[in-house]
Amino acid sequence: MDVVMGYLDTYVFDGVYNQAAALTSTTPLPRDSLLRQSLSLFVFIYAYIVAFYFGTAGLSYRFIYDKKQESHPKFLPRQKLLEMACASRALPTITLMTVPWIMGQLHGYSMVYKEWSKFGYVYLGVSAVMFILFTDFCIYWVHRLEHHPLVYANCHKLHHKWIVCTPYASHAFHPIDGYLQSLPYHMAVFIFPMHEYVYLALFAFVNVWSVMIHDGEYMASNGVVNGAAHHTVHHLYFNYNYGQFTTLFDRMFNTYRKPSQEIYDRSRRNSKTVQAAQAQDIDTALPTLENKKTQ
What is the amino acid identity at position 165?
C
Query: Could you tell me the pTM of the whole model?
Result: 0.91
Q: Which residues of the chain have pLDDT under 50?
A: none
The predicted structure's pLDDT at residue 114? 94
The predicted structure's pLDDT at residue 283? 84
- Say which residues have a Cβ less than 8 Å from residue 267's Cβ, sequence separation at least 6: none
The predicted structure's pLDDT at residue 59? 96
The predicted structure's pLDDT at residue 292? 61
CA–CA dist 245, 209 (Å, integer) = 8
The predicted structure's pLDDT at residue 293? 57
> 70-120 pLDDT, tens per residue?
999 999 999 999 999 999 999 999 999 999 999 999 999 999 999 999 999
The predicted structure's pLDDT at residue 267? 77
The predicted structure's pLDDT at residue 274? 86
Q: Following DSSP, what letter does each residue of the chain receive, concatenated?
A: -HHHHHHHIIIIIHHHHHHHHHHHTSPPPPTT-HHHHHHHHHHHHHHHHHHHHHHHHHHHHHHTS-GGGGGSTTSPTTHHHHHHHHHHHHHHHHHHHHHHHHHHHHTT-S-EE--TTTT-HHHHHHHHHHHHHHHHHHHHHHHHHHTSHHHHTTTTTTGGG-SS--GGGGG-S-HHHHHHHHHHHHHGGGTS-EEHHHHHHHHHHHHHHHHHTTS-------SSB--HHHHHHHHHHSSS---SSBSHHHHHTT---PPPHHHH-HHHHT-HHHHHHHHHHHHHHHHHHHHHHH-
Q: Which residues of 168-207 are buried (b: 16+ CB within 10 A; e: fewer)?
A: bbbbbbbbbbbbbbbbbbbebbeeebbbbebbeebbeebb
